Amino acid sequence: MTKPVILTGLRANNDLHIGNYFGALLPLIDMAKNKAEDYQVNLMLADLHSFTTPINHAELQPQIQATLRNYVAAGLPLDNPSVRIFRQSYVPAHSELTWILDCFTGMGEMNRMTQFKDKSAKLHEDRINVGLFNYPVLMACDVLLYGAEYVPVGDDQSQHLEFMRDIADRMNSQFNQELFVIPRAVKEQHEFFGKDQGLRIKDLQDPTKKMSKSDESGKGIVFLGDNPDEAAKKVMGATTDSVGAVRYDLEKQPGISNLLQIHALLSNEPLPKVIEHHEGQERYGDLKQEVADQVKEFLNDFKERLANVDDAQLMAKLEADEKQMNGVANATLLKVQKAVGLRA
């Protein structure tokens, strides 16, 4: 019996911060480890998706390598055959199937995508490329080529998931055969993966918004690649309040609450325990110092884990998995090519 398939896409991004680490990397790695027994877990580095908005192309290769190494340093297993890792562009079927499905997709369907509307609203018309527009078709192919039923989707991606289901169903009906497995509906995805997002690390300078790369000064963000001493200073300079007592209160004391959350995540202790331990303390400096020390230790440790990533093992894993993925993807592509008349 073949196992049901999970697929998700990772963005090439070497500017990861601790918010990404605890909010995205670790949950994804946990998911992969926990599900691998009963499911085939396919993790795809979405390199073709990288230039839907302009990037520095000279940096893409190092960025892809850095992203993969970050995942491995964060615990992604390289020795589990049920967890496959591959680079999208190393499986050319993604591009081929995208062209075919483009021709079965309505302009209106793509125009209605709110992510496209949001992203394109900020750009001058000549800077909006066609790839940004039909990106959901490529994303659909990422999933449909492997018959994946389960796709962890954030709220910003649920419309794209609905589109995958539509186009899969449309092709199956039009050609009167099961060309594609239809991915599960959004609600079932949430039931399967659990919608609980866990703790969300906030910006150190403005603790009312989440830690995000778009913060301009970078002072409120702890990047995984930060110099540990500099990062500790960022924590010491975190915005707090004038209440004068450590309490977990997201409304009235967002800065202190954020430090408590970071504390809990870094020490891998339950938040209530950390809160109890610090409740009522009056000197914010003590809490800051403790978190700053933890951040320093965490970054030093992460550097060491990065230095220990076995690049040869990583490359060997990628190449072996890409070979497998090509086999699966090409079989699906051939079925489609036959159905549409490109192959006898």
Q: Stretches 5-13, 236-244, 298-306, 317-325: which one binds ligand TRP (CB under 6 A)?
A: 5-13
Smallest separation (angstroms) from ligand TRP to the CB of 310: 26
Choose which of 28, 41, 45, 46 interacts with ligand TRP (CB under 6 A).
46
In 3D space, the residue among 56, 58, 64, 52 whose CA is nearest the CA of residue 12 turns out to be 64
CB–CB of 229/296 below 8 Å?
yes
Q: Stretches 6-14, 30-38, 251-259, 330-338: which one binds ligand TRP (CB under 6 A)?
A: 6-14
The owner of tokens 């605890």 is: 22
Choose which of 143, 238, 295, 318 interacts with ligand TRP (CB under 6 A).
143
Give the x-and-dash track for 93-132 against ligand TRP (CB under 6 A): ----------------------------------------
Tell me the H-state helices in the chain.
18-20, 26-35, 60-73, 93-102, 107-111, 114-121, 130-144, 158-174, 186-193, 228-236, 254-267, 271-278, 284-307, 311-340
Give how many residues touch ligand TRP by CB under 6 A.
11
Smallest separation (angstroms) from ligand TRP to the CB of 82: 18
Instruction: Give me the residue whose beta carbon is nearest to ligand TRP.
Output: 9
Query: 25 or 139, CB closer to ligand TRP?
Result: 139
Smallest separation (angstroms) from ligand TRP to the CB of 177: 24
* Torsion on CA atoms 109, 152, 6, 175, rounded to nearest 10: -10
Q: Is 43 helix (H, G, I), strand (E, B) or coil?
A: strand
Smallest separation (angstroms) from ligand TRP to the CB of 142: 4
CB atoms within 10 A of CB 130: 10
| 7: contact with ligand TRP by CB under 6 A | yes
Choose which of 9, 207, 220, 254 interacts with ligand TRP (CB under 6 A).
9
Q: Stretches 51-59, 138-146, 200-208, 268-276: which one binds ligand TRP (CB under 6 A)?
A: 138-146
Smallest separation (angstroms) from ligand TRP to the CB of 10: 7
In 3D space, the residue among 217, 200, 112, 213 whose CA is nearest the CA of residue 162 turns out to be 112
Which residues on neighbouring strands pair with residue 42, listed in sequence order? 7, 84
Query: 11 or 252, CB closer to ligand TRP?
Result: 11
**Is 323 a known active-site residue?**
no
**Is 202 a known active-site residue?**
no
Q: Stretches 7-15, 19-27, 65-73, 178-186: which one binds ligand TRP (CB under 6 A)?
A: 7-15
Contacts of 307 (CB under 8 A, 6+ apart): none
Q: What is the DSSP letter of 86?
A: E
Choose which of 157, 189, 205, 257 interacts with ligand TRP (CB under 6 A).
157
| 47: contact with ligand TRP by CB under 6 A | no
Query: What is the radius of gyration, based on Cα positions, of the chain?
Result: 22
In 3D space, the residue among 320, 328, 330 whose CA is nearest the CA of residue 85 turns out to be 320
Choose which of 6, 8, 36, 105 interacts with ligand TRP (CB under 6 A).
8
**Is 213 a known active-site residue?**
yes
The active-site residue, picked from 3, 33, 35, 119, is 119
Report d(CA 278, CA 255) in Å as an integer: 14
The active-site residue, picked from 210, 233, 303, 338, is 210
The separation between CA 144 and the C-alpha centre of its own chain, rounded to angstroms, equals: 19
CB–CB of 290/238 below 8 Å?
no
Report d(CA 105, CA 122) in Å as an integer: 25
The owner of tokens 């919608």 is: 195
Query: 35 or 49, CB closer to ligand TRP?
Result: 49
Query: 197 or 208, CB closer to ligand TRP?
Result: 197
The residues that touch ligand TRP, with contacts defined as CB under 6 A, are 7-9, 11, 46, 49, 139, 142-143, 151, 157
Q: Which residues belong to the active site? A: 119, 210, 213
